[in-house]
Structure 1
């Protein structure tokens, strides 16, 4: 719906969307653009109004219609004759207009476009307060109280209010989700603390020495892990390893369990004559301790297997292994 209005500040006439006009019919929002293409998009609804737009006082409404072309014609008539009476015309809109609008008299007019006047000066607080004085009905009951409204916070239409309410509702939902997550973390933290106290998770008993340096030590720990309390004790102990990514946490857990020399003779599947780790209880402990972390609780078996396999595969590159091989290769290359 479009309205042809006369601004009270400078007597200029322009087309506005009816949704820009305030419920009192005394103010209208106006887009803060100088580009004619953007103003056209505002009129056709491609760019929606919001509370950042300026609001200006209007003296009267000449014409109301749901057809933009009709509004253009009436706007031209109103510019030539200020005595045009209020007229309301409603038609079924079949197709949106695609003609361009101009905002300067210097631009070409194709016969269908119109020249938009410059928006009037922003009204001051006093003017708005006077125009929104309390209105009384026939019985003398106060209908609306006087409001001293700042131009930067004037709500141009009910649509703007609805958008603000929607944003508030969205913010409330987000706060509720954050509070729920905080409560879950507090509960999980309390549970972890209780388990840690019950099983003395921060320390291991004498006789359990980590990291393992020999295959026999892995087998002894596997036997020790067959007792449920021992199993949970090691899980809790390893769950305190820090990290912000699944792969980083997993590598740090493996470093606590296996020395680098032992890692060189082990792998996941036992290929190439190396010791097979896949079926050890110690690997199951690694998986469970990893999933105690929030960032790794959804880690898949395949992801865990990939990181573990690579950690053992590249064990020769750690502890200076890669640099040592480089130094061995360089003299050979020089002699050649």
Structure 2
């Protein structure tokens, strides 16, 4: 059985497909394999590889669907990523601002929940637990915040704010300071980290004004911004890859910004 889930904001807030065996008994957390190659990850997912001491544990924000067939599950996941239709189907029964407790009737039987509720996670796996809330602390435990001398708050809410931050980033020390803060933003992989950083830098309303190159639909070019360098520097300080990899992930995030912005407007008017 394959399950579509969303990670918490601290871990990037991205949507992913996991095997039901990877979820903890209460379905509030998921074990994530260490595989870096996509093909290896898919093989692990399809066969339902059993978690071991090398896996990491992440919080689950919500579950969207369960599906026995891998191909059907993949299609549902793509639909959720692009249109949020899957999420909307669930949220008609679970209000958008409802607490994070899932309606278990949607995902598994009451009897199975009761039988597993008191079952502790395997002792070996507890060694790899990823503690939520540590992503923005330095080695001394001090909470990290954006540079105090920034002229505007983030995420940026309009183009004027963006112009101000670009002027601020003209100084290398300011660009380095903001990149250092962005390094602390969580994400289980490059995709999640890029998404989380961009979400913290730009509102969807501002992001919708941009494409990476700005060559279509009168979009502004994100590639020309100093913010692009902030994102690239921050991600590559923590993840393997090169600038081209990060640029590709930025393109995808910007591509879907208009739909996210439209969904936000719709939510506010409901």
Structure 1 and Structure 2 fold alike (TM over 0.5): no
TM-score (norm 2): 0.42
